[in-house]
Chain A
Amino acid sequence: MGEILNINHLSKTFGTNVVLTDIDFNVNTGDVTTIIGASGSGKSTLLRCINLLETPTSGDVIFHGIKVADGGMSEEDYRAKVGMVFQSFNLFNNHTVLSNCMLGQIRVLKKSKAEAKEQAMKYLEKVGMAPYINAKPAQLSGGQKQRVAIARALAMDPEILLFDEPTSALDPEMVGEVLEVMKKLAHEGMTMLVVTHEMSFARDISSHVVFMADGKIEEEGSSSDIFSNPKSPRTKEFLTRFREDN
């Protein structure tokens, strides 16, 4: 399977605050990689660096062998291929559900309205939001918003989808509907990089798990490596806390 993303010795500091240190890992086509770790360990910052919402202080984000920051491809072209789903949804408040899913296709991918609409409907149906095409984001529940946000990202036909704690802002009864959609995508072979606090979800769907602590990768491996057989004491401690919580 081909390598899509290669995170190469990436570090990030904010002023004197070192948030990420020498992060190094790869994502291959079809991988479902989850990033877990305590609050403040730098997971969101890592995803934001990968999507170039933050500029890494050093190191590279390499997409199909091209260093993105070097101008080998434009930020916009890169982001069109690397979708992102945010904790806070970030749906366009001035657009309807349908229009949220069409806008990027029309303005960035230069598709016709008819094509964009067909594609948008396909993914809105997949996430179960097709009946809501005329609603504005403010008229939806959190779980519904997040499903639309996933459809919006999918409608761009990305090669990989980044998720930053997609269920953390949701009421407990809405977490399930979003995780269901993500499981479905994982089974269909979508390449995903997911930051999550939903440990049982991470255990069940991950092909690869990265455990972060203090801005470093403490341990990584397959789902069973990390969840059944953790090596590092910090990983063990983190997972024990999670087991106690559940």
Chain B
Amino acid sequence: MTIADMSFIQRMIYIVQTYSGSLLKGTGVTMAIAIICTALGCLIGFGVGIVQTIEPKRSASPISKFLIKFVKVILSIYVEFFRGTPMMLQAAFIYYGASQLFGINMGMWKAAILIVSINTGAYMAETVRGGILSVDIGQTEGAKAIGMNHFQTMTSVILPQALRLIMPQIGNNLIINIKDTCVLSIIGTVELFFTFKSISGALYTYFEAATVTLIIYFILTFTCSRIMRYLETRMDGPANFDLATTDTLAYTSGLNSAHVPGRERL
């Protein structure tokens, strides 16, 4: 039976059977880029977002005040530029620019990861800044009042709460990245969308190939959004708490103050 004689379903099965290797590889590349770049983007976003919320102490020297201001301006230019231009063009600009101007061939992986990460970072920076600002000022004052410095306040009190607040946004970015890696086909990254183009180009079965690829994308994004939900509820901790009994009190107030499993979160 040739492709032309097959039904819609048969063609899809044929595509999956014949191209399972390429589809798996494309899926793998897409997921690898999406996950790595969302993680790196979050790191960049936290870095930039934290710097954007630094208020110099009133006692700080004019030089350090100027430096903070200067760095903030540079970072806002970064954020505005990468949020404000299409990622597909950024990819072309950086990839071909690097080879034409500097004679560097970045290679597909490096280029892909670089571009998607700094793009995600630009979006996350604003999200993180918003997250930090929406943590109640009382939390900062409570921390300051027991002598914690800015770094300690951030790491122990503010950022964990900001992270929880922006978890839905991180999930959003992951899903966007899974879909948006498709623009990397412009620099020849063999991800899922590239695989779709090769299959449909070889078989001239655009509709069936698109259906198969759509289903794969949906399974990927749906699974990821469920996993993110699960992580959110995990972060919230148990809805109820146990009253410590006299047993555990005796245990915890003893000199050795041994660790009660699962009872501490520091």
Contacts and interface: CB of A to CB of B under 8 A. Distances in A.
Contacts of A19: none
A53 B140 CA distance: 10
A88 B138 CA distance: 8
A127 interface: no
Interface stretch (A77-85, A192-200, A203-211, A227-235): A77-85
Q: Kindly name the residue among A103, A113, A156 whose own CB sees the greatest number of chain B CB atoms within 10 A.
A: A103
B241 A80 contact: no
B226 interface: no
Q: How large is the interface on B (under 10, 10 to 19, 20 to 34, 35 or more residues)?
A: 35 or more
B237 to A, nearest CB: 7
B192 to A, nearest CB: 37
Contacts of B252: 98, 117, 121, 133
Contacts of B142: 86, 89-92, 149
Interface stretch (B41-49, B95-103, B120-128, B147-155): B147-155
A136 B237 contact: yes
A76 B153 CA distance: 11
A19 to B, nearest CB: 17
B160 interface: yes
A232 B58 CA distance: 39
Contact of A99 (B141, B243, B266): B266
A160 interface: no
A108 B148 contact: yes
Contacts of B257: 113-115, 117-118
A121 B253 contact: yes
Contacts of B148: 76, 103-104, 107-108
Nearest to B249: A130
Q: How large is the interface on A (under 10, 10 to 19, 20 to 34, 35 or more residues)?
A: 35 or more
A76 B143 CA distance: 10
Majority-rule SS of A interface residues:
helix
Contacts of B58: 55
Contact of B152 (A51, A78, A107, A130): A107
Contacts of A121: 249, 252-253
A115 B255 CA distance: 8
B161 interface: yes
A152 B146 contact: yes
A124 B240 CA distance: 20
A168 to B, nearest CB: 14
Given A102-B266, A108-B152, A121-B252, A92 B145 contact: no
Interface in B236-266: 237, 240-245, 249, 252-253, 255-257, 263-266
Given A86-B138, A99-B264, A102-B266, A131 B244 contact: yes
A183 interface: no
A96 interface: yes
Contacts of A102: 266
A98 B149 contact: no
Given A86-B141, A132-B244, A125 B253 contact: yes
A122 B58 CA distance: 38
A134 interface: yes
Contacts of A86: 138, 141-142, 145
B139 A93 contact: yes
Contact of B156 (A98, A107, A134): A107
Given A115-B257, A134-B263, 6 more contacts: A90-B142, A92-B139, A95-B157, A104-B147, A113-B264, A121-B253
Q: Which 4 A-B pairs have the closest CB atoms?
A: A80-B147, A90-B142, A104-B146, A114-B257
Interface of A: 51, 53, 55, 71, 76-81, 83-84, 86, 88-96, 98-99, 102-104, 106-108, 113-115, 117-118, 121-122, 125, 130-136, 139, 149, 152-153, 156
14 contacts: A80-B147, A92-B143, A96-B264, A98-B264, A102-B266, A103-B148, A104-B146, A107-B156, A131-B244, A131-B249, A132-B244, A134-B241, A136-B237, A139-B240
